[in-house]
Amino acid sequence: MAIDESEHQDLLAGLIRLHILHHAVEDELYGHWMIEELARHGYRVSPGTLYPMLHVLERKGYLESRTEGAGRRARRLYRATEKGRDALEVARLKVRELFGELIEGR
């Protein structure tokens, strides 16, 4: 099922941020990769939505970034900070709790 991110943006933005954080804990990621990863999970997210999210996550201290390459081939790689890792752990518990009610009816 393809979810039109633009239609429910506010509601889904938190889930997308957690998805970004999850992958940024596992490995470095860059924007285009993340857009394709989200697409694989049925989210259509434009660069105009994703890149600002990455910037905000970095500004709030959840991600840090470095630039690889130069000129037109330069790309920015993001990874989770300690704060990002901690936040994902907190979120994991909250998601499990919510999953119990939303999906399993507990």
Q: Which is nearer to Zn ion, 28 or 37 (CB)?
A: 37
Q: Which is nearer to Zn ion, 35 or 65 (CB)?
A: 35
Quick one: which of 74, 87, 75 has its CA closest to 20? 87
> Quick count: other Cβ atoms within 10 Å of Cβ 54?
21
CA distance 76 to 66: 6
CA distance 13 to 3: 12
What's the closest the beta carbon of residue 13 comes to Zn ion, in angstroms? 16
What's the closest the beta carbon of residue 35 comes to Zn ion, in angstroms? 12
Amino acid at 29: L
Q: Which is nearer to Zn ion, 37 or 64 (CB)?
A: 37
Residues that bind Zn ion (CB under 5 A): 37
What's the closest the beta carbon of residue 25 comes to Zn ion, in angstroms? 11
